[in-house]
Chains A and B, each alone.
Chain A
Amino acid sequence: MSWLEAAPPRARRRVRWGALAIGGLIAAAFILVAAVALVWTPHSWQALAIDQRLMPPSWEHPFGTDHFGRDVLSMIMKATHNSIVVAFVAVAIGLGAGVPVGALAAARRGWVDEALMRASDFVFAFPALLSAVMITALYGPGAVNSIIAIGIFSVPVFARVTRGAALGVWQSEFVMAARLAGRGAVAITVAHILPNIASVLIVQATIQFALAILAEAGLSYLGLGTTPPDPSWGRMLNEAQTMIYLAPHLVVIPGLAIALSVLGLNLLGDGLRDLIDPRLRGLD
């Protein structure tokens, strides 16, 4: 016991459980909003009403209206849906490509491992934004291109996490037993490795989901992501920037939506990680 560990981690543990609950609630609320936006928004998110432009928040328009008189609440709801779809597909790409690569590296070791990990280091040299910039420079902006760019960037993250966790499981006795029983690497990976690292992957997916939402917002802010007329939090901020003096609420609301959703997902991810890995409970 070191002297710094004297403070009981109890208060912290209580905070952790609270964080997990709050994060889960926020994430669930955003998913609910996205689902509702599919079938209903208070106003049409694309109906223009120039005579009602830049209205401050009111009963009719709880978040006010933008420079075209569109209802900001409806746009935020529709944008929530877009954000979640982009992030979901990007994370699915990361999982779909990263997990097999990481599992292969862990199962084969040796030069396969070395080559795959060097390759993943190398993808790190192209941050999502940089690869998105390359893609949009050639193929134009759009939701699909930003999904691909964000997805590619999360592949090495999942590959590394999978490899690290899988290496540990490969050392365990039940895997030894399975190998002695003559089962092949693929069968062992499917039957024993993946189920045992699923929790780690779920945690990482939550964190990558949050990063993907941030990346999508950044790309759309630059005009490289979601294209009009589909609303996006990032593009709403871009449009609001020129009206910073006239209608500051247009700057505040989309930013809050981004920050709140990312905060919720991060709290959820951290909370899940602590729950799954008892060793970390006292540490971080």
Chain B
Amino acid sequence: MTLLLARRMLGLAVTLAAASVIVFIVMEVLPGDPAVVILGVGAEPESLAALRGELGLDRPPVERYLAWIAGLARGDFGHSHTYAVPVLELISERMAVTFPLALIAMALTAAIAIPMGVLAARLRGGAGDVAISLIAQLGVAVPNFWFAMLLVIVFAVSLGWLPAGGFPGWDAGIGPALGAFVLPALALALPQAAILTRVTRSSMLDTVAEDYVRTARAKGLTRNAALWRHALENALIPVVTIMGLQFSFLISGTIVIENVFHLPGLGRLLFQAIAQRDLIVVKELVLLLAISVVVVNFLVDLAYLALDPRLRRGHHVMA
């Protein structure tokens, strides 16, 4: 167990290091001269030289990379050109929007998908099962930003129940702040829930075929009791894994959805930073998002070990 954990930790460290190297190479080495990218081709030679000095571009790449990583370790994420504030400040401010949004979207996904998946498995082969499959197929096919626009047309433009976009800030109170998250979270959750419903359904069908579920039935438990108490708990293991993998789609999703609803989160910041060619912000954000995906997948791996005792003995897990 300890050995397994150590191996996983080592793997995590290697992946994180590799991610930072890739981001560094793509953002700083490949473009040739980042100063030209930031200031544009027509920039004055003096300002280019000044920026090169500020970014330390006169030093060799390896030295710059190490300085960058050392800075990150100290919490120094560099300075944004366009916002004229430390990048760390910018990121933590925007995190207060993206993090709760992603959390609500994930909770919504599970709240929709798990009951639907169990229901589909319970009604297997029947009309209800087919109907749920069709809805899930549609859910996968509908782009989240289009679904978001349809939600705006119905709930904001026609009914006027919810805001069409924007974020009042947490100072405006918990009600209005959460209200601004309802439609974006729904738009984010729909495609994820569609996938997760299918996963839950097939995982349930695999589990109910197991002996212990039959034993539970033989002991006199009703179908529903066997289903909800014995099968579901075990069927959730792959469901949790898929939810972890979906995190990376959730990250991409927030980039798009925050732009649809003009929410001042990390996704919108990334988008604005690109438009303003604020390479420092883009670099730190891309790395941060990639790291969050890697770390979440690592945690899911650990959760997998905790949930399934059979895996702890060091068997290699085919994920």
Contact = CB atoms under 8 A, between A and B. Distances in A.
Given A134-B286, A138-B26, A237-B145, A255 B150 contact: yes
Contacts of A137: 27, 273-274, 277, 279, 282
A254 B19 CA distance: 36
Interface in A135-160: 135-139
Contacts of A127: 248-249, 251-252, 293
A124 B248 contact: yes
B15 interface: yes
Interface residues of B, number: 64
A122 interface: yes
A1 to B, nearest CB: 9
A255 B124 contact: no
B26 A134 contact: yes
B30 A138 contact: yes
B115 interface: no
Chain B interface mostly helix, strand, loop or mixed?
helix
B114 interface: no
A255 B146 contact: yes
B294 A262 contact: no
A244 B157 contact: yes
Interface in B93-143: 121-122, 124-126, 129-130, 133, 137-138, 140-143
A4 B26 CA distance: 52
B162 to A, nearest CB: 14
B143 A241 contact: no
A259 B202 contact: no
Given A3-B223, A133-B286, A255-B143, A283 B202 contact: yes
Contact of A129 (B122, B133, B146, B255): B255
B300 interface: no
B139 to A, nearest CB: 10
Contact of B143 (A8, A125, A214): A214
Interface string B1-40: 0000000000100110011001100110011000001000
B48 interface: no
B130 A130 contact: no
A224 B145 CA distance: 15
B90 interface: no
B209 interface: yes
Interface string A116-135: 00100110111111100111
Given A4-B208, A129-B256, A221-B256, 15 more contacts: A2-B209, A4-B124, A7-B125, A15-B133, A126-B22, A130-B255, A218-B256, A241-B149, A244-B149, A251-B150, A255-B146, A259-B141, A259-B142, A260-B141, A262-B141
17 contacts: A4-B208, A11-B126, A122-B294, A127-B248, A127-B251, A133-B271, A133-B274, A134-B23, A218-B145, A221-B145, A222-B271, A245-B157, A251-B149, A260-B141, A263-B138, A283-B202, A283-B205
Interface of B: 11, 14-15, 18-19, 22-23, 26-27, 30-31, 37, 121-122, 124-126, 129-130, 133, 137-138, 140-143, 145-146, 149-150, 152-153, 157, 198, 201-202, 205, 208-209, 213-214, 217, 223, 248-249, 251-252, 255-256, 259-260, 270-271, 273-274, 277, 279, 282, 286, 289-290, 293-294, 297
Interface of A: 2-5, 7-12, 15, 118, 121-122, 124-130, 133-139, 210, 214, 217-218, 221-222, 224, 234, 237, 240-241, 244-245, 248, 251-252, 254-255, 258-260, 262-263, 266-267, 283-284
